[in-house]
């Protein structure tokens, strides 16, 4: 019998990483080593308990000794690297942690992976992969027409996207210079369950339910391409299994919406699902000054992953957004714990206020 394969997942307690972990534990027979620092964005309530197939390790990817030790102890067959600071607004308020985690952290992982890879032989060496999860924001803004392809020049606009672009460049270099078998995916905006309520869709959903203002940046006409988080994770599994080493794959939902469209859809859906609410959610929409450096439009051309690897999104926006809103309605405790920090206090052994 073949021994169980091990995937080292970084950032597996965050929004997308936790979805990947839940999905891969269900669809595959691998063991997942989930390496996450549990920043404000990470939550063990988003992932299964420890078992023979899921091992949680709390640690910082920018910490060389811990990273080296994880590779030595668990001998991964593949690395899927999600861990990052991920929120553009936070990167504007304080870029330090973005440089440290996204750039230095990726560098430390690459260094440890290179060392680990050099010690592998045979099938283990042939099959090893380092998959770096990145964003379409590295390409900067695109005009009203046109799409980002895998060969579009990088032109990041925010400290967040600049730090992700830097990490992509390091990953490329580790492939070209050191022969590390890397894969890079650049995906558009994700939405779905377990997303921290600082991001557009959960924030607007929760405010709409609570009767709080729905703050839309500027005129709300910025365009983003949206993809359901499980479809993204499915694409990552596809690239991990069949992607061509050294290459980049764009992942998108072919689903462009203005921010205002998104907020209107949320209002309509919340009005319908919560007919007991005393307010019409549309009356809560308020326009606030635009984010500095706000890119007008992102649009992904995902034809490479579709044509070469046969991946396409399984869910339509209309169905998945409804399910997502329903999930937030059904899981208020998860959100409360995330927002109150109660979860983190319990984790550190402190008292929580219930």
Instruction: Report the interface residues with ligand NAD, using CB under 6 A.
Output: 10-11, 13-17, 36-39, 41-42, 60-62, 82-86, 101, 105, 133-135, 164, 187, 189-190, 196
Q: Is 72 a catalytic residue?
A: no
Q: Is the distance from CB of 295 to CB of 140 less than 8 angstroms?
A: yes
By beta-carbon proximity to ligand NAD, the closer residue of 39 and 230 is 39
**Least distance from C-beta 125 to ligand NAD, angstroms?**
26
DSSP state of 38: -
| Token pair belonging to 186 | 């650049």
User: In this structure, are strands 54-58 and 31-36 parallel, antiparallel, or unpaired?
Assistant: parallel
Active-site pick, 107, 160, 191, 194: 160
**Least distance from C-beta 122 to ligand NAD, angstroms?**
31
Closest CA to 135 of 124, 121, 148, 119: 148
Q: Is 298 a catalytic residue?
A: no
String of DSSP letters for 53-112: SEEEEE--TT-HHHHHHHHHHH--SEEEE--S---HHHHHH--HHHIIIIIIIHHHHHHH
By beta-carbon proximity to ligand NAD, the closer residue of 281 and 320 is 320
> 167: part of which helix (H) or strand (E)?
helix 159-178
User: Which residue number has the CB closest to ligand NAD?
Assistant: 14
By beta-carbon proximity to ligand NAD, the closer residue of 82 and 343 is 82
String of DSSP letters for 334-354: HHHHHHHSHHHHHHTT-----
d(CA 209, CA 165): 36
**Least distance from C-beta 17 to ligand NAD, angstroms?**
5
**Least distance from C-beta 321 to ligand NAD, angstroms?**
14
By beta-carbon proximity to ligand NAD, the closer residue of 61 and 206 is 61
By beta-carbon proximity to ligand NAD, the closer residue of 128 and 191 is 191
Active-site pick, 136, 225, 231, 301: 136
Q: Is 249 a catalytic residue?
A: no
**Least distance from C-beta 204 to ligand NAD, angstroms?**
15
Active-site pick, 36, 77, 85, 137: 137
- Cite the active site residues: 136-137, 160
């Amino acid at each position: 019998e073949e021994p169980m394969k091990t995937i080292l997942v970084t950032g597996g307690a965050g929004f997308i990483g936790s979805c990947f972990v839940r999905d891969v534990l269900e669809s595959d027979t691998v063991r997942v080593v989930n390496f996450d620092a549990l920043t404000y964005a990470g939550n063990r309530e988003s992932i299964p308990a420890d078992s023979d197939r899921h091992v949680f390790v709390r640690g910082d990817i920018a910490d060389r000794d811990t990273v080296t030790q994880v590779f030595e102890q668990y001998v991964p067959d593949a690395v899927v690297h999600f861990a990052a600071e991920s929120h553009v607004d936070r990167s504007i308020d304080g870029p330090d942690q973005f440089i440290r985690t996204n750039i230095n952290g990726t560098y430390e992982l690459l260094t440890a992976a290179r060392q680990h890879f050099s010690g592998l032989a045979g099938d283990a060496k042939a099959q090893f992969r380092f998959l770096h999860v990145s964003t379409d924001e590295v390409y900067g803004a695109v005009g009203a027409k046109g799409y980002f392809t895998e060969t579009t020049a990088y032109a990041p606009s925010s400290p967040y996207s600049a730090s992700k672009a830097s990490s992509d460049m390091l990953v490329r270099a580790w492939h070209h210079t050191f022969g590390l078998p890397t894969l890079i995916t650049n995906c558009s905006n994700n939405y779905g369950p377990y997303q921290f309520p600082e991001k557009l869709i959960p924030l607007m959903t929760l405010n709409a339910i609570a009767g709080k203002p729905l703050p839309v940046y500027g005129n709300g006409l910025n365009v983003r391409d949206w993809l359901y988080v499980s479809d993204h994770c499915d694409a990552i599994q596809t690239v991990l299994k069949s992607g061509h080493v050294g290459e980049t794959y764009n992942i998108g939902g072919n689903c462009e919406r203005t921010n205002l469209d998104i907020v209107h859809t949320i209002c309509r859906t919340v009005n319908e699902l919560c007919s007991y609410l005393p307010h019409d959610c549309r009356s809560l929409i308020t326009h606030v000054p635009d984010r500095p450096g706000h890119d007008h439009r992102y649009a992904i051309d995902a034809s490479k992953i579709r044509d070469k690897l046969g991946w396409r999104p399984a869910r339509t926006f209309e169905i998945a957004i409804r399910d997502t809103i329903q999930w937030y309605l059904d899981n208020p405790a998860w959100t409360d714990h995330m927002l109150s920090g109660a979860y983190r206090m319990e984790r550190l052994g402190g008292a929580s206020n219930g």
